[in-house]
Amino acid sequence: MTIDTAEDSLAIADMTLAAPCGAVIVPGWQTMPGAVGVEALCLLTAEGTRQRLFVLGVDAESPRAFWLDCGLRLGRMIADTAALTLDLRSVAGLQPDAAAALCEGIALGGFRPQTIFSPALRLILSGDADRDAHRATIETALVIARWTNWARELVERPAGELRPDDLAQEIAGRAAELGIAVEIWGETRMEAEGFGATLGVGRGSDAAPCVVVLRHGAGPMPLGLAGKGVTFDTGGLNLKRDVEEIGYMKSDMAGAAAVAGALFAAVATKGAPDVIAVLPMVENMPSGRALRPGDRVRHPDKTTTEVIDTDCEGRLLLADALSWLARQKVRALIDVGTLSDGGGVGAELWGLWSNTPALAERLTQAGALSGDPGWHLPLRHERDTLLASRIADRRNTRVGEPDTGQVAACYLAQFAGGTPWAHIDNGSNAWLLRETGAWPEGATGAPLRALASFLCDEK
């Protein structure tokens, strides 16, 4: 990345600096798009070459989300381009965070599955801009975008190429590069640690389940993170019948990818607190060995769950992780998983439930600031009796009524005990079925950027 400054005002002749393509903000330009717009134009130079010019509909007063949105749209339009000049001299009082959001959006917008896209960026700022502040803020944003795209690539990968051990090895390898301590537990260790629910869910597949444990820092009260890592979810014996839904169930490990990626981004930017992250990984498949409706599974805290629906498997994995983490004397617990539609919040948000309003507020604020927003939803007052069972300490869902994100949250709340806890359901926006706003169809990485922002602020 190159950052230049110039005293002269922007002139139409300067647009030729944007070779092979460029983005500018032009006051009064007759084709200036509306708010958060990107308009593409073509220029013919004196040498007869064709260049592309993109006009951005933002200014210094635009919120960070607008700059990010413009960057996403621009990144999607230039994914075949090796270099990009961003001429921002006309933006009086441009803040580093706005420029960083634009660059982050470009990196996110240029994502293509199994394709590395990293255009050479050149920024031209006004002469009075603080280049060092802009550089530091932009470099941090690009690190977060890089790890977000890493998680998106994992979610996009076909399930036949990313089974539980494959995902575990990928995460372990990245952790080792960053100096993060990592363990991969096989079935014997999982049995010893009490991960009976995870073992039960994974029993139906010929791919063995595993658990990845990441540790950063050595403080006495780390933050506990958990992420659902179901590399493919058929529903088990309660087989999914929706062809569209089962078609994107390779994305059911998006929670584990987001948690790992957020930790990696925070460590890479030197902002991570002490963390223990637990990522259970399975395939949920039907077979003669598969978990049956009515079976009973045991968790690390010695409590049990009656399995009413084998398609409500993600919460069983997270329950094992939460109950194990709660015994590690963590200061707070945050779990992430694609358990439902996120509580019905829509495709642009993730849903959040918590037993601690202050923790929920910090997470939603981190989401808003990072352009990865979520919505805080209430737990039901009768959550302790909502899932009563005659043969276990609880059921994994209600009998005779549709399962919801709220029911899943009420189930998981029972494993937090008195520890501050928050549950993020990214089933609403970790995978988009169609283009939504500036985002294309497919994996988004949500809520990785929100969680990374939270972690960097937690230290």
Q: What span, in angstroms and rounded, lies between the C-alpha atoms of 397 and 377?
A: 18
Among the listed residues 315, 362, 394, 449, the single catalytic one is 315
d(Cα 185, Cα 195) in Å, to the nearest integer? 10
- The backbone torsions φ and ψ at residue 82, rounded to the nearest 5 degrees and listed phi first, read -85, -25
**What's the angle, vertex CA 322, arms to CA 319 and CA 326, rounded to 5?**
140
Task: Tell me the C-alpha distance between 282 and 249, whole Å.
Answer: 13
Alpha-carbon distances, residue 273 vs 227, 301, 334, 392 (angstroms): 18, 26, 14, 37
158: left (phi over 0), alpha (psi -120 to 50) or beta: beta
Q: Dihedral of the CA atoms 427, 264, 161, 182 (nearest 10)? A: -110
How distant, in Å, are the alpha carbons of 159, 281, 451 from that of 166?
Answer: 10, 10, 24
Helix (H) or strand (E) holding 55: strand 50-56
459 is catalytic: no
Cα separation of 259 and 96, whole Å?
Answer: 27
**What is the per-residue DSSP string for 369-433?**
HHT--EEE-PPPTTTTTTT--SSSSEESS-SSS---HHHHHHHHHTTTTTS-EEEEE-TTTSEES
Chain centroid to Cα 328, Å, comes to: 25
In order of 202, 295, 349, the CA distances from 241 in angstroms are 20, 22, 26
Based on the number of CB atoms within 10 Å of its own CB, is 393 exposed (0-12), middle (13-18) or buried (19 or more)?
middle
The question of whether 240 is a catalytic residue gets the answer: yes
Provide long-range contacts, Cβ within 8 A and 24+ apart, for 324-327: 324/193, 324/194, 324/195, 324/278, 324/300, 325/224, 325/226, 325/276, 325/278, 326/224, 326/301, 326/415, 326/416, 326/417, 326/419, 327/300, 327/301
Question: Cα separation of 329 and 159, whole Å?
Answer: 35
- Tell me which of 240, 292, 296, 380 is the catalytic residue: 240
d(CA 403, CA 417): 23
Catalytic residues: 240, 315
